[in-house]
Chains A and B, each alone.
Chain A
């Protein structure tokens, strides 16, 4: 690869081209080599810094978790405990004045059969679930109910797409909508991989679960957690080692919905069957 200037001169001299220009030693040769050397050393240094240096945590979840906020709220949904009564759906509707046929939280019933998986959520399970008929009963291998809601992601796509900064993630972990700022453009509705957002029919703004921010600030639990009869829904502070969510976290048996979306939800599921999407 190494070429010294005398060689270039010799080669340049043979063809009858612009001899005057060619006879000069290539003025770029040195700087090009230098440039390449700089690029290489720069890339090496950057790589080393990314792996060992201060950049090491820049892209990992740990960086966000170490925020200075006093609380780090998290939500736990235990599938094994959910009986599908729909108390949570009714309480959420009432607490937050959610319009008819729209839901901040809803419950889905999964029925797995040999032919496939069937999912239903009649009116968001506002009135619970119907008895399954004999046909379904005969085909069913397994059935369970899955409460769904906003996952309050650590890396929320809805916040990324909002053109006016009307939706945001607080340091404590809430993903919220500023109704005073929202235009109702519904970009966030499309961006959410969990279908947790909707345009509120009454106010024509984007709406979603807030983990009952107003209740938590008043020292209460979210409405859905308050009325859940079987501890299928838990809410608490991960910074408090005695909280129920911290204990679930400690056991390290949780899952999140759609991990492949890299949204880092802070809504953790326990006993999540693999059929759930």
Chain B
């Protein structure tokens, strides 16, 4: 039989608290990821996870290996600043590893041209765009006889759009 004293309840309480503290520290050490960054307060391995996301767009440099001539030519044209993938689709749809898996898209729709060059009130000053009249650039003589749905690429080259 344990002898009870007027202070024994305090010892019991202290014992319970110590138990709780030990349990808390155990759970905490189990729940804290090994790579936890205590300075910035995040899971260090999260950076590896996020960096592991596969790339979709390769940029124009990814086209160089196979389409060197086309890219070289493009450098002289007004559309040199454009990303190939804006019109031709992202590189992952076209190449896997070093092999071509599908034909690259060639978006020849009028929308693709109009999206940048049709007149909009928000365009910066000096940006080449069709006249304010609305229908295809009536300011330009050659456009006058065209129907509204005539594809721009019927006459213009998408890479070298100079009229």
Contacts and interface: CB of A to CB of B under 8 A. Distances in A.
Nearest to B114: A128
Given A83-B124, A165-B41, A180-B46, A131 B57 contact: no
A83 B123 CA distance: 5
B128 to A, nearest CB: 10
Given A111-B121, A140-B121, A83 B46 contact: no
Given A91-B85, A136-B121, A85 B116 contact: yes
Interface in A108-155: 109-111, 127-129, 131-132, 136-137, 140, 143-145
Nearest to A130: B120
A214 B53 contact: yes
Contact of B59 (A136, A226, A230): A226
Contacts of B42: 165-168, 178, 181
Contact of A85 (B46, B50, B59, B115): B115
A179 B50 CA distance: 9
A169 interface: yes
Contacts of A111: 121-122
Interface string B117-131: 011111110010000
B86 A227 contact: yes
Grouping DSSP codes into helix (H, G, I), strand (E, B) and loop, the B interface class, with mixed when no group exceeds half, is loop
Contacts of A109: 122
Contacts of B115: 85-86, 127-128
B55 A218 contact: yes
A227 B43 CA distance: 32
A214 B55 contact: yes
Contacts of B26: none
Contact of B49 (A81, A131, A165, A178): A178
Given A83-B127, A84-B120, A132-B120, A179 B51 contact: no
Nearest to A82: B124
Q: How large is the interface on B (under 10, 10 to 19, 20 to 34, 35 or more residues)?
A: 35 or more
Interface in A29-87: 80-87
B82 A95 contact: no
Given A87-B83, A176-B47, A176-B50, A168 B41 contact: yes
Given A178-B46, A180-B43, A81 B124 contact: yes
A110 B120 CA distance: 12
A137 B121 contact: yes
A229 B42 CA distance: 36
Contacts of A127: 115
A217 interface: yes
A231 interface: yes
A167 B83 CA distance: 32
Contacts of B52: 214
Contacts of A223: 56-57
B47 A227 contact: no
B57 to A, nearest CB: 5
B13 interface: no
Contacts of B54: 214
Contacts of B47: 170, 176, 213
Interface string B4-40: 0000000000000000000000000000000001001
Interface in B54-70: 54-59
Nearest to A137: B121
Closest 8 CB pairs of A and B: A168-B42, A178-B46, A214-B53, A143-B121, A227-B83, A143-B122, A217-B51, A95-B56
Given A82-B124, A91-B90, A109-B122, 8 more contacts: A83-B124, A91-B83, A111-B122, A127-B115, A170-B47, A180-B43, A215-B55, A229-B116
Interface of A: 80-87, 91, 94-96, 109-111, 127-129, 131-132, 136-137, 140, 143-145, 165-171, 176, 178-181, 210, 213-215, 217-218, 220-221, 223, 226-231
5 contacts: A83-B122, A95-B56, A166-B42, A180-B49, A214-B51
